[in-house]
Amino acid sequence: MMNKGGGSGGGIAGSGGGSGPTAAAAAAALQKQKALLQRVESDITSVVDNFTQIVNVARVSDPPMKNSQESFMMEMRASRMVQAADSILKLVSELKQTAIFSGFASLNDHVEQRIAEFDQEAENTIRLLARIADDASASLKELESHYYSSAQRLDI
């Protein structure tokens, strides 16, 4: 049978006593995880139970009427197995989409962080260039004053 002890090990880190949107998102993610685990558990249990019933019904018996009833039971159980397997496949697809979109979300967070870093670096560069321009302007004024007050200028 299935191990039912996996419900507490895969929780969200830090989903304790916080408040705000992060705590709400963590609580929603934990709730969704529990719902998905219950869904997987019920679907797999359904597949196993229906397979067991198909094997039990598959015994050949003598009366033709009983064989047709068993055939119908096998078809019904097989149909239920297909439905449960389809549900599991949909769950896998949903998990893949969640993984892809959460990957995009973390990628977007990283991009936003890098944009903020580059904006800060641009501000620092602009301040540095402004300081260099002020220093160059002051140096140029000093050189102009020396030039215009020098004796060499008067000699020309």
Calpha distance 141→156 (Å, rounded): 21
62, 96 contact by CB (below 8 A)? no
The per-residue pLDDT for range 82-126, each reduced to its tens digit, is 999 999 999 888 888 877 777 677 777 888 889 999 999 999 999
Backbone angles phi, psi at 20, to 5 degrees: 100, -170
Which regions of 48-119 does DSSP assign to beta strands (E)?
A: none
pLDDT over 50 at 11, yes or no:
no
pLDDT of residue 79: 92
The per-residue pLDDT for range 17-38, each reduced to its tens digit, is 445 556 676 777 778 888 888 8
- Predicted model pTM: 0.47
> DSSP letters along 101-132, please?
HHHHHHHHHHHHHHHHHHHHHHHHHHHHHHHH
In the DSSP assignment, the letter for residue 7 is: G
pLDDT of residue 122: 95
pLDDT of residue 154: 59
The residue written with tokens 């969640």 in the block is 98
